[in-house]
Amino acid sequence: MSINVQKAEFILSAASPKDFRRDALPQVAFAGRSNVGKSSVINRLLNRKNFARVGAAPGKTTQINYFKIDNAFYLVDLPGYGYARVSKGERDRWGRLMEGYFADPELMTLGVMIVDARHKPTADDCTMAQWYRGAGCPFLVVANKLDKLKKSEVEGNLQRIRETLELGEEDMVIPFSAEKGTGRDELLRAILSSVEASS
Ligand SMILES: Nc1nc2c(ncn2[C@@H]2O[C@H](COP(=O)(O)OP(=O)(O)O)[C@@H](O)[C@H]2O)c(=O)[nH]1
Ligand SMILES: [Mg+2]
């Protein structure tokens, strides 16, 4: 099977579980703290310049965005978290929506979690990793903004990410730069092999 990831189309924004897609296509979910570069990683992955909007109203959109990739799988853009200036109502909405998505283990084929390569993962990141683990499907971590690290910092930072998120040996951490393209092929390979294995 050959999948052309540049063939990507927006399908819908789901604001509640009744809008979730439940057809046979595999779903690859993307999660990350607001501003971690989730939209930039998606654009880089798909080789599209302005597909997922970069820098758009952080924390203001409590929706799950579905993109269909070459009729082969859904890329599911989960709402960002950890944005400080968010109302209680907005946070509750976020929680209900994510709970709804993670409560249905049929939905997700692979989870992708994006963290900032520069920093120790936050408490929110750790919670997110636990949700993914609890979902029972494979998940992998993308350490984005690698270009902002000195070479000498890379190894230690990746190790700190592994430890803080309590990853196992088998869990992948992909050093990534949406800006430079580092890690793009590795992420693409991991996604396509999990899509192919499940369809
Ligand atoms: N230096 C650098 N900046 C990045 C990278 N990825 C994203 N950014 C910047 O980080 C900011 C947030 O990116 P965005 O994709 O909107 O993050 P999102 O809120 O997680 O979707 C923007 O200013 C991006 O240009 C990267 O790999 N390296
Ligand atoms: Mg975004």
185 lines ligand 1 (CB under 6 A): no
Residue 54 has pLDDT above 80, yes or no: no
Q: What is the pLDDT of residues 59-92, one digit of tens each?
A: 556 899 999 999 999 999 999 998 877 888 888 9
Which percentage of the chain shows pLDDT scores above 90? 80
Residues sharing a CB contact under 8 Å with residue 2, sequence separation 6 or more, in sequence order: none
Position 101 confidence tier, pLDDT thresholds 50, 70, 90:
very high
Specify the pTM. 0.95
Rounded to the nearest whole angstrom, what is the distance from the C-alpha of residue 36 to the centroid of ligand 2?
A: 8
Cα 80 → chain centroid: 9
Residue type for 50, please?
A: N
> From CA 10, how far away is CA 111, in angstroms rounded?
19
> From CA 55, how far away is CA 195, in angstroms rounded?
28
The confidence score (pLDDT) of residue 51 equals 84
Position 55 confidence tier, pLDDT thresholds 50, 70, 90:
low
From 54, 83, 85, 148, mutation site for ligand 1 pocket: most ligand atoms within 8 A of C-beta = 54
DSSP annotation of 16 reads S
Nearest CA to ligand 1 atom 24: 37
Rounded to the nearest whole angstrom, what is the distance from the C-alpha of residue 169 to the centroid of ligand 1?
A: 28
Contact by Cβ (8 Å): 16, 100? yes
Phi and psi at residue 130, in whole multiples of 5°? -70, -40
58 lines ligand 1 (CB under 6 A): yes
The confidence score (pLDDT) of residue 20 equals 96
Contact by Cβ (8 Å): 98, 18? no
The confidence score (pLDDT) of residue 184 equals 98
Rounded to the nearest whole angstrom, what is the distance from the C-alpha of residue 36 to the centroid of ligand 1?
A: 6
Residue type for 60, please?
A: K
Helix (H, G, I), strand (E, B) or coil at 76: strand
The confidence score (pLDDT) of residue 52 equals 81
> From CA 47, how far away is CA 5, in angstroms rounded?
8
Mean pLDDT value of segment 3-14: 94
Poorest-confidence range of 24-33, 96-105, 170-179? 96-105
Q: What is the pLDDT of residues 162-197, one digit of tens each?
A: 999 999 988 999 999 999 999 999 999 999 999 999
> From CA 99, how far away is CA 51, in angstroms rounded?
26
147 lines ligand 1 (CB under 6 A): yes
- Name the token pair of 20: 């979730």
Position 133 confidence tier, pLDDT thresholds 50, 70, 90:
very high
